[in-house]
Amino acid sequence: MQVQVIKAAPNDKPDLWLAQSRSLAQILVDSVAAGAAIGFMQPLSLEAAQAFWRDTVALSVIQGERDVLIAVENNTVLGTVQLVGNMPPNQPHRAEIAKMMVAPEARRKGIGRALMHAALRTAKGNGKTLVTLDTRTGDVAAPLYASVGFKVAGSIPDFAYDADGQALHGTTYMYCKL
């Protein structure tokens, strides 16, 4: 398995971006259906997921505001994480982890860990010294984040709705000094 970092603007590699964005949209749909707390509600249509990658993520990559890291094995996209580097002027040293997703059928195989290590290397390569993230309090991903060096900064109760809209959950903020 390898982790690719897409830094080039999607317009520079439209075929690669288009092929991967279709797979990324499916992983997003599947992750939300499985209850992932990544900012979307169920049911998430494939069209809405494709629009997110095309209109939001691609634009942000083009503008140099984020890096998209993609785990690929045998030409199959297995997971992704985003590293947002576009911070306020008083935080040029910081980046934020966003939309960490591994295809449900590929979980528990080290893909998330590989993505997180690649994200931290990318952040360091981008001159960042602090990386932050937030995760649903008690989420299964929290031990993964801790295992790659993140520490808990604090929690906020009732931060967002679960993907099914049935209950509110807290969020835990974490940080990693590079």
pLDDT of residue 14: 65
Q: Report pLDDT digits (tens) over 2-13.
A: 777 665 566 666
Q: Report pLDDT digits (tens) over 55-98.
A: 899 888 888 899 999 988 888 889 999 999 999 999 999 999 99
pLDDT of residue 140: 93
With vertex at residue 6, the alpha carbon angle to CA 30 and CA 125, rounded to the nearest 5 degrees, is: 120
pTM: 0.93
Question: What domains lie within the chain, and their CATH numbers?
Answer: 2-133 (3.40.630.30)
Q: Which long-range contacts (CB under 8 A, 24 or more apart) does 27-33 make?
A: 27/77, 27/79, 27/80, 27/101, 27/102, 27/103, 28/52, 28/53, 28/99, 28/101, 30/103, 30/104, 31/101, 31/102, 31/103, 31/104, 32/163, 33/163
How far is Cα 178 from Cα 128, in angstroms, rounded to an integer? 8
